[in-house]
Structure 1
Amino acid sequence: MADTATSNLTVTTISLTMAELGSLNPLPVVAAELDQPYTVGEGVPEELQASARYGVVPNVYPYLMQDGYSREAAPREFPAVVLENNKLRVTVIPSLGGRLWELFDKATGKQLLHTHDAPQLANIALRKAWFAGGLEWNIGTRGHSPTSCDPLHTAIVHTPDGKHILRMWEFERLREVVFQVDVWLPEDSPVVFAAVRIRNPNDHDVPMYWWSNAAIPETERTRVIAPAEEAFGSDYTTDITRVRPTSHEGYDGTWPVNSPHAADFFFDIDPSERRWVVAADDDGDGLAMLSTGLLRGKKLFVWGQGQGGKRWQEWLSPGAGPYAEIQAGLAQTQFEHLVMPAGAEWAWVEAYGNGHLDPDASHGTDWDAAVAHAGERLEQLLPHDELESMLSAAITDADVPPSKMLVDGSGWGVLERARRQKNGKAWVDESGTPFVDESVTAEQEPWLALLQGKAFDGASSFVAGVDWEDVLAGQESPEAHFHLATMKHARQDLEGAKSGYRHVVADPEATPGIKALAHRGLGLALLAAGRDADGLAELRNGVEADPANAALLMEAITLSIRHGDPAMALELNGAAPKAGTGVGRLTFLKALALARTGNPAAAAAILREGVEIPDLREGEDAISALWQEVCPDEPVPFGYQFGMH
């Protein structure tokens, strides 16, 4: 894509050394597998406890997992948009979740965001694939967004009053809402603005979650300040409790380098206070995150100084140095969902720039003085009333039609519009956020055909909702029966799912691929009901029905160990592929199965030779635990230390 400029907005490309995302995992995400909220401890108000209980989802169905990546990186070009004035240069990557990748302060020559040229994909997000750095937009439920690594619909918008806006938008499938982010950088402005709008077109309330997450460079002298004495804290192992960050477990947690382990601090900012959080390095420079009132929550996350935290940072950003995160969200903590009423539209404005604090004040021992000073400096950077006054114009601008389309997002918005039109249901005004027919791919085409009354065939993607179940109930093909059973399974109607799966596996017209997935679904449902032997037998049947389905084989091996049949795991592992992105995990699973079948020496030999699992889960201690089991007299190698506590 050639460089093209519109005022201070340039369309260009950026080169990143990065692995390919790879193919989607074909297995529907039906098990109840999302981490549940942490239990709530002392000092947490009932309002927070109630919103932590509300809106919890069992999984991210209908999304498919993104785990087809490796750690074999190569230079790749990505479409990028640069917004620039005499103070800041901002780089955005629309095709990677709309990530605001760089925020460069010209006066100091500093990058205010943790950024680098070789981001590593890792299993951190709700759909697994994620990469560290920049500023990301998270919607749906607790975790990094399902759209973290997806292209967003992207366009340039020229407003009647002369603003040049970079707009990104998408239909979020978990909550069935439309979100958009409008980014602009006025001439001479020391901050870049982002106006966010979420629209709920449904005739019912939806649980809503949003956190804007900024990775910041972590130095020995970085301090994070927010206008609060207390916070709600979590260290990933204990209850959420009310804590005092400046004197937490014997250390001042507002200095990231002080934290011995991973930790969250959700600042308890009084409603009367301006909502902000700022990082300051040894010179007082660092990212300031400001927002209008709706974006209530402000947070500090640290990986901690333990071996696991250091290993994770090296795993995610090789050679790029340590980082922390400051974040802003709709709720007070990330454990909560808010009630978004039927038909509601929510909007707010965020602003990002260099706080330019005085290090003597920001790094002093008097917390109140540091907060007061930071508040004064941020008021100078962007007066509170000026930011709040921008909201009404941002809401008006949100419906200004795009002037030039840059990137197509997914075709799911087109399908959702068609579904709602067919059923006489409300939809959003697409004036500012058009979902274009050109975005439709093979993922959506079978479902569009079904809406049009055509035969249902060839769907490798999944959808959710009562409307879809009603349409599929009128179809007689094995594929339709399988998808209907899958929808029931995803919403945890296990009896309905098992009945549907059994119908498919008994149908002589079912293709081997569909039959294999039906055996797999039945197996998962039986395992969830505590029938381990029967469940594992169905998983084996699935593998035998479609031996080429590597994802199914991997899952069967994993679950056979988890449910007490490591011998089955070893047998299946013998037929596993010897190349591809899953080899590292298969090698580890072989070692684990060997240990569970009474052969620790063979397991130890595999670990000593070296195992690398590209999709290792955040905080996963499995390799370290197995090493300690089979090599009890040897320290765990640094490369295997991923524990966050």
Structure 2
Amino acid sequence: MRRQETGIMLWAEWQRIMPIPPPVWKNPASGWIPERARRGERKKERDKTAKIRRDTDRKDDGSAGMDTGGAARGRRRRSCMISREKLVIPTYEMEEAEKSPIFYDVRNHQGTRGNVYPIPMRDVFLEKKIDREYDSVRLENDYVRIVVLPELGGRIYEGYDKRADYHFVYKNHVIKPALIGLAGAWVSGGIEFNWPQHHRPTTYMPVDCRIERGEDGSETAWMGEYEPLFGMKCLIGVTIWPDRAYVTVRTRLYNPTNATQTFHWWANLAVAANESYQLKFPPDIDYITYHNKDAVSEFPVVKGEFARAEFGDGQDITWFRNIPSPASFFIFNSNYNFMGGYDHGQQCGTVHVADHHVSVGKKFFTWGSRAFGDAWHKNLTDEDGAYLEIMTGCYTDNQTDFAFLAPDETKVFEQTWYALTDMPDLKNAEKEGAVGFSLQDGELRASLNVTSEQPGARLWIVAKGKVLLEETVSLTPGTACVRTLAVPEGVEEKDISIQLTDREGETIIGYTWRPPFFADREKPEPRRPARKPEEIESPEELYLEGLHLEKYRHVTLRAEPYYLEGLRRDPGDSRCANAMGMLRMKQGRPREALSFFRTAVQRHLLRDPNPRDGELYFNLGWALEEIGDEEEAVRCYRKAAWNSGFKAAGLRQAAKAALRKGKWKEALSCLEEAFPNNAESPQISFLLSFVFRRLGRRENAELISSRMLSVDPLAYSLLAESWLLTGEEERLRSLCAVLGEREAAWRTLLSEYAEIGAWEDLLKLAAFAPPELLILLYQAYAAQKLDREQDTREFLRCAQASSLDRVFPYTDWDVRVLRCCRAGGLEARCDYLLGCLFYGRDSREEGIRLWQQAAEEGDLHQAHRCLALALMDEYGDLTGARCEMERAFRLEQAENAGKPQDGRYLLELLAVRKRCGEEPEKLLALLEQYPETVNRREDLAHQRLVLCNEAGHPEKTAEYLAARSFHPYEGGEGILIRAHMLAYVQLGRRAAAQGKLAEAVSCYETALTYPENYHEGRSEFPREAAVCYYMARAMEAMGENEKAREWDERAAACRTGLLDESDFYTGCALRRLGRNREAALLYREMLEGARKILREEDRLPYFGGFVSNLPGEHSVRIANHRKAHPALFYALTGLSRTDEAQREKELAKQWGAEIAWISIVEAEGKEFLS
């Protein structure tokens, strides 16, 4: 069903209920935009009112959902089916998600802040492959087969074109997770829907699902979620039609919160790649960029270094084979609606089509076509080989580009994919077809594809106004229409026009040359880094810079200093004051926010009591509501409703306030006014249905809920209202089938009823929810509101006995419930959970205070553990952190005696002791007490490797390296290889010192070899200069001077610019080659680079700065000192400034840097200076 049609139905029925004039539909973004096909037959279909028949409990037999009637009358009848099935897929198992909350302060994930709370991390592999059943939905017609997996983030798992016998969507025949997702596990293949940031936080988690059949024969799998990071709602409908050879995804993004949120949307299509695979960007693309737009290159030939890859004198990057290492390429803009790829070997491809005014993002990513990429492809599949990611962004053109979503706002859009056949030179594609052509040696070869049967179509090919071909053709999906003809001399590609129309004269697809996008525009420039607040001239620019950092979720820089500097210069600046207020509201600090909002409103009222924008009054009302001043809050909400932008949201909040007081008619009055402004807001429809039910107007309640469910079939509260209204068991089953056993989904539903004081309804619904701790507290809260003391005590008693594992509260209603339930022995538990909530929302001091209370009240190991990490990360209180972590570790062991140990606690105890300066030998002794735990967890196993190297036990490092499999995380490649190289360099040097040169050479050869169990391939920029340098010395000692020179030359070519030991040994090799000036220049550059780091010790590079993901290593300042002081040691040693180098060595030790390489360099004495 088209969204606009739904809106018409809603209005028709609404006018029958209440005689209000319907609005003029001026904003296409507020409703489903019908496909702008110019074919008369499809226009008639759009004007119909579609009725939906829903089947939520179909049998999983192959006939479910068959449509024997079809949509194309007068043609051969076609079928379309949908069924829910159990699909068995070989799967590499992972351990359950972490029991404890994880707080990443400055984690860089895909260029944005990678804080994962309140999502549990899942990053421990079991090395076990099993056959596992997945819930799947299969959609199929005569042309395509589509399979989706609601259990894995709602991704499309398979897209297969029957006519072409081609998987136009990469099908991975195994589920093989790797550490790429925001919360750890991620799998390749299919089409992943990435939102609200990259990679989708819930990509390895189940989502809501229902299936639906349209009267036109279409079949739709609806999938959705309330994402846990910000509380926004996503709904996607994966749809096929009986007579179409494409799959369309219709998306609705909705913001039910009171805060303006930000999101990006990237549909991540995977396609099988090989030497013959070519990307198909629109023909008007002339420039590309990288992540964050920090680099710009001409397109399609890229020269030099770009996107962290080297392209030499120039490579056509549309070919997979020409990209050696991992790289992402983004366009700036295009006037075309498509992007795709083509396998010249199979003569098939894939194309994506969407409105380019909304779907502005076009990107592709590859792991690269060399060893590094080969290793990653093996990490992600067993036998399906290499793939490319063809990503398309809606409301976003880059990663990390985000768009705004205001309170109660919905954004809607659709995207379509289908297979191409015999289309090697794609020039344009739309939903109904694609066209391509090439012109060589005076011969034109044109190819056309269609996505539906097109008998009697008309084809024109024109060059310079002269018709070269005009004929009637009949086309069918899966078979290309190819024409080859001679063209007049002097005709170029830009002179060619091709047009294909149906038998009624409506255009199916066409192409006419357009100039490159930037032909008449200035060349795009790379984005500049943010300036420091004190360097910015005006409060307006300070506000905009802060807004950018906040919107783009910068990893290390925060918006707050920019807003505060703006307010320092102009204390009444409404923009900065409003922005600061919103930051405080998101942190759960409404009293502080109130002051900022009042400042903002006061400035806006300077000359006019009626601002043009209702946002400031809305925000002020929200803050007032949170501190309990409801009367004043309603006054502000109603004033915000004077302006259309916040009319629906303001009236919605005012209606909720009235409902909490039982003022049904007042609430209805607000909702009557709000509905015309936002007829498809799920919250407004829910409130209307609720009020009608309470007023006894059952028909109206049923109408509103059923009509909204035709727009959003997964709206929790409307599914609940549907059952509460009728009591029908079938409707209850529908509700429970959607929410399943997911506690967070049920809590979202319960909070909607809590927000309007519907305590009886809340308890009715909660009876079907999983009896987990927070659900029980919601029930206790509701029972207390109803003065049911016995029920309250029973719910609290059950909550006291419930596990705290994976209980991660986050919402404002969680705050209210936890504060209210601090009684009857639950004080420590509630304080601990509130501490998690506030710490996770960047209210660090409040979080720490609550954890301290919880640790004192109940001696909870969870509270001691969180407190230890916070004291270490926030205050640098290592003594306090160690005391708390030791206590947490002992308590956790006692509580779980006889059970497998929680390796997270051991990892964090190790981190705290390491930060306290404990010697590597003692830290190794700690790990050796728990060998099973260390062997089970890769992070602990890797720490053991580091400690063995630091303690001078390379033989143990080599033994442990060979004993297990390792799995790199994206961005962490090379960390294991560095430990491997260090171990074998130490072993090689030891052998060389004993005169065992052959053994030394063997060690160095091993250092340059990447064993299979590492699951890593050689990078195009390897950090292997040290190994090459020592190999050269071994060759010298064996009298192989020519080979020694070759190894020195290889070392000299290994410069990485990372200011580490590899760059130092590059300088050593340069000196051996007599290139002393180059070596000195390299060391001086290292010296200046390290000093620059220390000059800005609290800042990382604006683009792509990283700190370790390990606990206790989240401090930017510590990370910078750990990098800078070893770099200074190497540079000063290379420049023969040994006294200064020694001072830097001591500082490196004080800051906790790994110094094994420093020790090696130091042990060599003056060797390097000769």
**One-letter amino acid of the structure 2 residue matched with residue 148 of structure 1:** T
Change (3 A) 1:248 1:536: farther
Long gaps (5+) in structure 2: 1-58, 67-80, 304-313, 428-435, 453-476, 478-500, 510-679, 681-706, 720-730, 759-764, 785-791, 894-900, 986-1003, 1021-1170
TM superposition score normalised by structure 1: 0.83
Matches within 5 A, 1:551-562: 551-557=904-910, 560-561=913-914
CA contact (8 A) 1:182 1:398 kept: no
1:146-189 Cα shifts (integer Å, max 9, x gaps): 22122222111133544321111111111201111111111121
Change (3 A) 1:465 1:82: closer
Partner of residue 353, structure 1: 418
**One-letter amino acid of the structure 2 residue matched with residue 241 of structure 1:** A
Partner of residue 376, structure 2: 312
CA contact (8 A) 1:175 1:208 kept: no
1:489-523 Cα shifts (integer Å, max 9, x gaps): 2123332222222222223x33xxx3244333332
Partner of residue 117, structure 2: 61
Partner of residue 336, structure 2: 273
1:247 maps to 2:301: yes
**One-letter amino acid of the structure 1 residue matched with residue 199 of structure 2:** H
Change (3 A) 1:207 1:377: farther
Partner of residue 104, structure 1: 160
Instruction: Classify the secondary structure of the residue corresponding to 1:541.
Output: helix
Distance in 2 (CA, whole Å) between partners of 1:544 and 1:606 is: 27
Matches within 5 A, 1:626-645: 626-632=979-985, 633=1004, 634-639=1007-1012, 640=1014, 641=1016
1:287-312 Cα shifts (integer Å, max 9, x gaps): 21112342321110010124222111
Partner of residue 492, structure 1: 842
1:165 maps to 2:229: no
Partner of residue 290, structure 1: 353
1:398 maps to 2:711: yes
Partner of residue 95, structure 2: 22
**One-letter amino acid of the structure 1 residue matched with residue 202 of structure 2:** T
1:309-360 Cα shifts (integer Å, max 9, x gaps): 2111101112221111011123101212211111111111111111335326
Deviation at 1:203, TM superposition (A): 2.0
TM superposition score normalised by structure 2: 0.47
CA contact (8 A) 2:437 2:447 kept: no
CA contact (8 A) 1:489 1:497 kept: yes
Instruction: Classify the secondary structure of the residue corresponding to 2:127.
Output: coil
**One-letter amino acid of the structure 1 residue matched with residue 853 of structure 2:** H
**One-letter amino acid of the structure 2 residue matched with residue 335 of structure 1:** T
Change (3 A) 1:151 1:643: farther
CA contact (8 A) 1:165 1:183 kept: yes
Matches within 5 A, 1:224-623: 224-227=279-282, 228-234=285-291, 240-249=294-303, 250-270=314-334, 272-292=335-355, 293-330=357-394, 331-359=396-424, 398-399=711-712, 408=739, 410-424=742-756, 438=768, 440=770, 442=772, 444-449=774-779, 451-452=781-782, 453=784, 454=792, 455=796, 457=800, 458=802, 459-460=804-805, 461-474=807-820, 475=822, 477-507=827-857, 509-510=858-859, 514-532=860-878, 534-547=880-893, 548-557=901-910, 560-561=913-914, 565=918, 566-567=920-921, 569-576=923-930, 578=932, 582-607=936-961, 609-614=962-967, 616-623=969-976
CA contact (8 A) 1:620 1:643 kept: no
Distance in 1 (CA, whole Å) between partners of 2:129 and 2:923 is: 30
Larger radius of gyration: 2
CA contact (8 A) 1:284 1:356 kept: yes
Taking only the aligned residue pairs, the percentage that are identical comes to 19
Change (3 A) 1:375 1:516: farther
Change (3 A) 1:378 1:341: farther
Instruction: Classify the secondary structure of the residue corresponding to 2:315.
Output: coil
Deviation at 1:16, TM superposition (A): 0.8
Deviation at 1:260, TM superposition (A): 1.3
**One-letter amino acid of the structure 1 residue matched with residue 288 of structure 2:** A
More helix by share: 2
**One-letter amino acid of the structure 1 residue matched with residue 924 of structure 2:** L
CA contact (8 A) 1:16 1:76 kept: yes
1:26-62 Cα shifts (integer Å, max 9, x gaps): 1112231431675xxxxxxxxxxxxxxxxx6551211
**One-letter amino acid of the structure 2 residue matched with residue 308 of structure 1:** F
1:588-637 Cα shifts (integer Å, max 9, x gaps): 32121111223233222322x24313574554322101011111322131
CA contact (8 A) 2:114 2:182 kept: no
Change (3 A) 1:644 1:173: farther
Distance in 2 (CA, whole Å) between partners of 1:451 and 1:281 is: 64
Distance in 1 (CA, whole Å) between partners of 2:766 and 2:161 is: 36
Distance in 2 (CA, whole Å) between partners of 1:319 and 1:126 is: 26
Change (3 A) 1:287 1:170: same
**More contact order relative to length (CA 8 Å, sep ≥ 6):** 1
CA contact (8 A) 2:104 2:114 kept: yes
CA contact (8 A) 1:113 1:135 kept: yes
Change (3 A) 1:437 1:66: farther
Instruction: Classify the secondary structure of the residue corresponding to 2:330.
Output: strand
CA contact (8 A) 1:469 1:484 kept: yes
1:3 maps to 2:61: yes
Higher mean alpha-carbon deviation, 212-221 vs 305-314, is at: 305-314
Instruction: Classify the secondary structure of the residue corresponding to 2:943.
Output: helix
CA RMSD of aligned residues (A): 3.6
CA contact (8 A) 2:82 2:137 kept: yes
CA contact (8 A) 1:93 1:99 kept: yes
Long gaps (5+) in structure 1: 39-55, 363-367, 427-434
Matches within 5 A, 1:61-80: 61-80=117-136
Change (3 A) 1:289 1:24: same
**One-letter amino acid of the structure 2 residue matched with residue 398 of structure 1:** V
Partner of residue 150, structure 2: 94
Higher mean alpha-carbon deviation, 243-252 vs 78-87, is at: 243-252
Distance in 1 (CA, whole Å) between partners of 2:139 and 2:766 is: 25
Change (3 A) 1:163 1:395: farther
State the number of aligned residues. 599
Instruction: Classify the secondary structure of the residue corresponding to 1:20.
Output: strand
Partner of residue 197, structure 1: 252
Partner of residue 174, structure 2: 118
**One-letter amino acid of the structure 1 residue matched with residue 300 of structure 2:** T
Higher mean alpha-carbon deviation, 528-537 vs 164-173, is at: 528-537
Distance in 1 (CA, whole Å) between partners of 2:244 and 2:196 is: 32
Distance in 1 (CA, whole Å) between partners of 2:708 and 2:280 is: 30
Deviation at 1:369, TM superposition (A): 7.3
